[in-house]
A and B are shown apart, each in its own frame.
Chain A
């Protein structure tokens, strides 16, 4: 199997703060890979570094066999798209859903926009009726569906998901997770997904990396995590915390 994303000894430095301290990982093609950790662990920074939104100080990123340079070209964004955490902040408030979905098509000069928009909205479970609405007329779950539609409209092979459901209610979260699994199966996508919630990551991903303070703590398969076969104390703490409050 070939690798979709290879990250080697990646360092990200903001001014003097080292957000990532030499992190390596490999995501296979068609795999769903999770990044877990608390705030400040560098998990989102890793995603942002891959898309070119964070300053890479050293290290190498290879996507679909192509080594990435300092800037990303259009071809890169046709392969890799990102869904952000906050559906209230990631959609333009003055643009209709239609306009939002046309933007990536216009950038990439894709002609059959009409058909693609209809199909994308269909695919994320929003009918045609949503096409000319504004973001503020939608619920959080519907907005996240639009964000997913926007990511899918270029037909990428890799989706980077940054806490895609943490701003949503539990019942809506279930719907969005189901949708993500479904599009992944149908389009044979590769997922790299960030979450602070171990339950979500074990549900969605086959393998995962636990991060803390900009470093990788350990790499596990979902079944190792489920079976509590973990090595690091930090992971054990996370597992315990995810089981809820226990009175001592």
Chain B
């Protein structure tokens, strides 16, 4: 790949020990990412979230991560110290989680949480941190940043909470953003607002984005490229614009089985899962 490859993942494996033996959540996923929007799509248990977490360094301690290569901007993520990893996390690599209700601290005002992220990574005065937090809240199209700054997560709507989380992740100016189902907990119309904000920020700031979702249709309309995962493996990588010509039966089945407005199909086609897909 060209020089501006941001992230390289080769043969990533995430293994969990369980009572009944080892479970491989991710079984050899490989892809690379430039300054683009990459979608990872798959159903529950496909390993898409564990892939994102492994890149972020948020795999639970009992699990084991291995890869031939897992490098971010030339740095080998698996061999650097936890301290160096911490310096990356939230600073150069950021992550947006699914539900602002659970992923924001309920006993800390939104503004303080954003300032905390900033002051962890940069030496700035309190006043300047506040200024920058307000500016970032403005950037995610919150109309009255000064008011929202002092609100607690339970006092705002889901869409507003998700914007606050995006603001928190943006404030350090990350180069890679991992968004794990960032809009699944939101209403459809709010979903589009949040996606618009994300889209604008990614293209303006030249970030790389990994967008993890179960919704193939949403991903195909938002991302440049799509990685399809099934049972811990990447079964297909395809340009979003060419998704209609997807070759793998799983990708096609996934596209097909959703009801669509204006297409009468009774009964809906269902996926006929083949054991060799997981092989």
B127 interface contact, C-beta 8 A:
no
Contact pattern, A 221-233, Cβ under 8 Å of B = 1, otherwise 0 = 0000110000000
A199 x B222 contact (CB < 8 A): no
* Chain B 199-224 per-residue mask, 1 if CB under 8 angstroms from chain A, else 0: 10000000000000011111011100
Instruction: Say yes or no for A245: interface residue by CB 8 A criterion.
Output: yes
Question: Which of A129-175 touch B at CB < 8 Å?
Answer: 140, 169-175
Residues of A within 8 A of B195 (CB): 245
Chain B residues near A170: list those with CB within 8 A: 43, 214-216, 254, 257-258
Answer whether A241 and B192 are a contact pair too, CB < 8 Å, given A175-B270, A178-B268, A181-B267: yes
Kindly list chain B residues whose C-beta atoms are within 8 Å of the C-beta of A248: 196
A140 CA / B45 CA spacing, docked (Å):
12
Q: How far, in angstroms, from A248 to B200 measured CA to CA in the complex?
A: 10
Q: How far is the CA of A170 from the CA of B43 in the complex (A)?
A: 8
User: Is A115 interfacial (CB 8 A cutoff)?
Assistant: no
Q: Which of A170, A239, A248 has the most chain B CB atoms closer than 10 A to its own CB?
A: A170
Binds A, one of B12-20, B21-29, B142-150, B183-191: B183-191
Closest CB in chain B relative to A174 CB, distance in Å: 4
When distances are taken between beta carbons in the complex, the residues of chain B under 8 Å from A242 are: 188, 261
Say whether B257 contacts A173, CB under 8 Å: yes
B259 contacts partner chain A, Cβ-Cβ < 8 Å: yes
Give the CA-CA distance A239 to B264 in the complex, in Å.
17
Interface residues on B, range: 35 or more
A109 CB-CB contact with B under 8 Å: no
Residues of chain B with a CB closer than 8 A to A196's CB: 187-188
The yes or no answer to A91 lying at the interface (CB within 8 A) is: no
Specify which chain A residues have a CB less than 8 angstroms from the CB of B258 in the assembled complex.
170, 173-174, 199
A245 touches B221 (CB 8 A): yes
CB neighbors of A among B228-279 (8 A)? 253-254, 257-262, 264-271
Give the distance in Å from the alpha carbon of A247 to the alpha carbon of B197 in the complex: 11
Residues of A within 8 Å of B190, CB to CB, are: 38
A244 touches B218 (CB 8 A): yes
Task: List 14 additional A-B contacts (Cβ < 8 Å) besides A38-B189, A170-B254, A245-B199.
Answer: A38-B190, A140-B44, A171-B254, A177-B259, A177-B267, A178-B267, A181-B267, A199-B258, A199-B259, A202-B261, A238-B189, A241-B188, A241-B192, A242-B188
Write 30 A-B pairs (CB below 8 A) sorted by A numbering: A169-B214, A170-B215, A170-B254, A171-B254, A171-B257, A174-B257, A174-B259, A177-B267, A178-B270, A196-B187, A196-B188, A199-B261, A200-B259, A202-B261, A203-B259, A203-B264, A203-B265, A203-B266, A225-B261, A226-B262, A238-B188, A241-B188, A242-B261, A243-B261, A244-B221, A244-B222, A245-B199, A245-B218, A246-B221, A247-B199
Question: Shortest 5 CB-CB distances between A and B: which pairs?
Answer: A244-B221, A203-B259, A38-B187, A174-B257, A241-B188
